Amino acid sequence: MKRTGLLLVLLLAVAGCGQGEVPVPGGHPTPAPTVSSPAGGFNGTDAAWVQLMIPMIERTLPMLDLAARQAADPAVGRLASSLATAHRAELARLTELRRAAGLSDVNVHEGHDMPGMVTASELDAMRSADGKAFDGLFLRFLRDHLDQSVLVTRGERGSGADPRALALATDVERSRTTQLARLEKLP
């Protein structure tokens, strides 16, 4: 149901809900994505995708950094470190795309715990765990993030318009699919 709700948010943006607020799962309305000066054919899906992926990554980085330092299994720590590097590179590209498209740098998802976003309580749970329990929490939260990233990125690839956003979405989907495959190989 959470995935359906998030997909609905993207569909509403595409359907022309470019003004006012967009309903979000959990009942908290979100300002609809806006493009202050469209550049290169950015549409509502492009804007919604960029404005969602940035906070998704920003909220995942502390978890990746924590796991890189604290994982019990060295393979889990290496995965976390590798993903942190890749996520930071994607974040830089998304931030540049947001700037180039004229999108506001205001986080329209501030305060929303949306699918795929690591929450404060999840980070707290990880900080309180150790050993295999820590690794298990990390892998579960990471899978949620990666699965949701693939879902929303496929939405961008299917309904986006801007060639730069579509190219980045292709790269992100490929990266997340590879990351999920690496995750599957861990115990």
Range of the domain at 47: 42-184
- Rounded CA gap, 73 and 4, in Å? 34
Average pLDDT, the chain: 81
Q: Is residue 154 part of a domain?
A: yes
Please tell me the least confidently modeled range out of 27-31, 106-110, 150-154: 27-31
- Rounded CA gap, 34 and 43, in Å? 9
pLDDT for 111: 67
pLDDT for 95: 96
Integer-rounded Cα radius of gyration of the chain = 16
Q: Is residue 24 part of a domain?
A: no
Chain centroid, CA 21 distance in Å: 20
C-alpha distances (whole Å) from 92 to each of 59, 68, 99, 161 are 14, 20, 11, 21
Residue 109 has pLDDT above 90, yes or no: no
Q: Is residue 170 part of a domain?
A: yes
Q: Is residue 121 part of a domain?
A: yes
Q: Is residue 1 part of a domain?
A: no
- At a CB cut-off of 8 Å and minimum separation 6, what does 178 contact? none
Domain count, the chain: 1
pLDDT for 110: 72
pLDDT for 67: 97
Q: Is residue 11 part of a domain?
A: no
Per-residue pLDDT reduced to its tens digit, 78-97: 999 999 999 999 999 999 99
CATH (domain of 131):
1.20.1260.10
Residue 16 has pLDDT above 60, yes or no: no
Residue 132 has pLDDT above 60, yes or no: yes
Please give the backbone phi and psi of residue 119, each rounded to the nearest 5 degrees, phi first.
Answer: -95, 165
Tell me the pLDDT band of 64, cut-offs 50, 70 and 90.
very high
- At a CB cut-off of 8 Å and minimum separation 6, what does 161 contact? 41, 42, 43, 45, 46
Q: Is residue 31 part of a domain?
A: no
Tell me the pLDDT band of 40, cut-offs 50, 70 and 90.
low
Q: Is residue 19 part of a domain?
A: no
C-alpha distances (whole Å) from 187 to each of 55, 79, 115, 121, 176 are 29, 13, 24, 25, 19
Per-residue pLDDT reduced to its tens digit, 149-176: 999 999 999 999 999 999 999 999 999 9
